[in-house]
Amino acid sequence: MPKDTRKSLTSRSHLRSAQVTTGPGGADTVEEPQASGGSGPIDLVQPQPQWRASKVREDSKLAKILALQQYRLKQEDIKSLPFEKRSTVVAGKKRDMYLYKERDVERKAWERYGGPEGFEAYLKILHDKHVEAKGTRAPFVRPSSYKISGSNVPAASQSARASATKTAKPKASGASLTVDKAATDAELARIKQSMQPWLWDACIHALDADIEPTDFVMADGRLLRRVRDRLGPMKDALETTKTYPVCPAQALPPSASVDKLRAVLAASPCLPGELDFGADVERLTYCTCYVPYEIEWYEWSAEYLERLFAAILEVVEENGLGETGWATVRWEIYDKYAKTFGEGIKYHRDGMIWGDKGAEWLDGQLAGRAHELSCRAKCASGLKFNEALPAESVEGYRCVGDGLYA
């Protein structure tokens, strides 16, 4: 399934007042100002800097995306720095991590923004604009060794925000925080009761497994993960999960056609490890594309899908499309697909949307673009199987797990 190697870019910024924007991962940046009397950027680098010693721990390292976001750098700023590459495969996706010495990254930020004082002043400007636009509750992305104190937010804005806070949001006491948490827990409990148990567990797991750079903070020399809000995503999940059919309590009993289908599923190959990711694997097809970043993944090959759909058609011919046939056995294919490719229901925070690539195995007849992108369009038996299914959408759109992949 896709390996996301997007490059995290931020705008080159300087100390002059300019419009603040939010970059990838929530890091605020400032649009490029122009130097007086020219079109190039202002050069703030001191010719022979006499800078203070770094406060960053000597052994501290940062992943590339954190380095760019926290220190407001561009990739070209750190391209000359040495780094340590670590690769791993997580849920079927090959991920490369590039670790830099934080002191090296900090030095580049000092060079870019005019020394430690210039960088601190720039962070202060961004922080004040961040507070002005988003308030104090939204986390401000910064290096852990840089503390932002005081505020240069205009007094009028501070007064207006304080007035609004007094009117609409009184200062929370321990009791009110307890009430808020109790209300949230009660709402989550209500949502849980409205979901199939396996879907609740899958959604909670998806939220816990989804990691972003801004989820982490340094405290006492340790990298800690922030506690994320679950209520908003789970409210959305309640709507998405309503599209799923009820999962049967028991699997189909053995029969000639069911046993054949299970044998084909048992022959599904495993994904290669990180060192061999991209190699040819029997019954799998390796795919890659740039959109504009590189993604690479594996799919079941057309030859394997032909065998799989032929076996599915035999189950349908013997047992029909109802609970004694396809409506029950489809869950075994859904589970095998999810296990093989690390798929399943997922929450995509960029678009604040739930999606489930494997849910096509639970869906009805597809048409148009949804059919073209499905496994059914890759072989003759898949086309025949799709025609045998009832249409659950007039337009032929994806219905189950409707979201990113619909």
> Among residues 195, 218, 241, which one ends one of the domains?
241
Tokens linked to 366:
């597809």
The two counts, helices (H) then strands (E), for the chain are 13, 11
201 φ, ψ (degrees, to nearest 5): -60, -40
* 3-state secondary structure (DSSP) of residue 218: strand
Positive or negative: CA dihedral 191, 193, 194, 195: positive
Does 160 share its domain with 25? yes
Place of tokens 């801004």: 214
Looking at the domain assignment, is residue 14 inside a domain? no
Residue 370 CA to residue 377 CA, distance in Å, equals 10
What is residue 222's predicted lDDT score, i.e. its pLDDT? 55
Q: Quote the DSSP letter at residue 391.
A: B
Identity of the amino acid at 196: Q
CA distances to 73, 145, 343, 346, 351 from 8, rounded to whole Å, are 10, 22, 25, 22, 17
**96 and 189 belong to one structural domain:** no
- Give the whole-angstrom CA distance, residue 129 versus residue 148: 13
Write down the pLDDT at residue 350.
63
* pLDDT averaged per 10 residues, the chain (length 406): 39 35 51 40 51 91 86 90 76 69 95 91 87 72 80 43 41 49 89 96 86 54 58 90 94 97 97 86 88 75 98 97 97 96 84 86 92 94 96 77 57
242 Cβ contact list (under 8 Å, min separation 6): none
For residue 289, tell me if it sits in a domain: yes
The pLDDT value given to residue 359: 93
Nearest Cα neighbor of 78 from 167, 147, 7, 136 is 7
pLDDT at 352: 75
Same domain, yes or no: 213 and 114: no
pLDDT of residue 29: 52
Q: Are residues 86 and 163 in the same domain?
A: yes
In whole angstroms, how large is the CA radius of gyration of the chain? 26
The residue from 212, 241, 270 where one domain ends is 241
In-domain check, residue 67: yes
Same domain, 62 and 156: yes
The DSSP letter of residue 46 is -
Identify whether residues 67 and 48 lie together within a single domain: yes
Residues 124 and 81 in one domain: yes
401 falls within a domain:
no
Per-residue pLDDT at 211: 60
Decide: helix, strand or coil at residue 23: coil
Please indicate, yes or no, whether residues 152 and 75 belong to a single structural domain of this protein: yes
pLDDT of residue 95: 63
Is 204 among the domain residues?
A: yes
- By CB neighbour count within 10 A (0-12 exposed, 13-18 middle, 19+ buried), where does 22 fall? middle
**Residue 263 shares a structural domain with residue 343:** yes
Q: Is residue 10 part of a domain?
A: no
Nearest to 365 by CA among 399, 314, 340, 404: 399
Residue 297 CA to residue 281 CA, distance in Å, equals 12
Q: Return d(Cα 289, Cα 308) in angstroms, integer.
A: 26
pLDDT score of 372:
92
Contact status, residue 122 vs residue 72, Cβ threshold 8 Å: yes
Name residue 222's beta-bridge partners: 219
Residues 209 and 277 in one domain: no
Pick from 328, 335, 135: nearest CA to 250:
328
Instruction: Please give the tally of structural domains in the chain.
Output: 3
The tokens 């065998």 sit on which residue? 307
Q: For residue 225, what are the β-bridge partners?
A: 216
Hey, is 186 helix, strand or coil?
helix
Are 100 and 132 members of one domain?
yes
Nearest by Cα to 343 from 369, 365, 361, 330: 361
The residue segments making up the domain with residue 202 are 174-241
**pLDDT value, residue 49:** 66
Q: Encoding tokens for residue 212?
A: 């972003």
- DSSP character string of 261-289: HHHHHHTPPPPP-GGGTTS--TTEEEEEE
User: Could you tell me what percentage of the chain is helix, strand and coil, using 3-state DSSP and rounding each to the nearest 5?
Assistant: 45, 15, 40
C-alpha span between 306 and 341 (Å, rounded): 18
**DSSP string computed for 345-362:** EEEETTTTEEEEGGGGGG
One domain, residues 315 and 202: no
Whether 55 is in a domain gets the answer: yes
Rounded to two decimals, the pTM is: 0.57
Provide the 8-state DSSP code for 194: T
